[in-house]
């Protein structure tokens, strides 16, 4: 993925893993009538580079990113 970052768990996952994860997350959003999507987009922090959740990025013991 050209726009991804190397610390992101989602950007470094295989294409099959991304497809399966996207299907599971999409099903969760449908089952909760979009409430989980609103919570994810409204209250969680996202990476400015790849737009994935910052909690899914690898960090060092001091809390800084591995980049």
How high is the pLDDT of residue 1? 40
Nearest to 46 by CA among 21, 18, 11: 11
Residue 2 has pLDDT above 70, yes or no: no
Q: Is residue 67 part of a domain?
A: no
- Asked which of 3-12, 23-32, 45-54, 58-67 is least confident by mean pLDDT, the reply is 58-67
Residue 5 belongs to some domain of the structure: no
Distance between CA 27 and CA 19 in Å, rounded?
12
Domain assignment present for residue 27? The answer is yes
Instruction: Tell me what the mean pLDDT of segment 15-29 comes to.
Output: 93
Q: What is the pLDDT of residue 50?
A: 87
Instruction: Note whether residue 30 is domain-resident.
Output: yes
**Closest residue by Cα to residue 52 from 62, 63, 61, 65:** 65
Residue by residue, DSSP assigns 2-31 as TT--TTBTTTTS-HHHHHHHHHHHHHHHHH
In a domain, 3, yes or no: no
The answer to whether residue 34 sits within a structural domain is yes
């Amino acid at each position: 993925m050209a726009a991804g970052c190397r610390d992101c768990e989602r950007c470094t996952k295989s294409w099959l893993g991304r497809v399966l994860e996207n299907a599971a997350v999409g099903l969760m959003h449908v089952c909760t009538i979009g409430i989980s999507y609103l919570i994810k987009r409204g209250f969680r922090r996202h990476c400015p580079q790849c737009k994935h959740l910052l909690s899914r990025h690898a960090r060092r013991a001091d809390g800084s990113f591995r980049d």
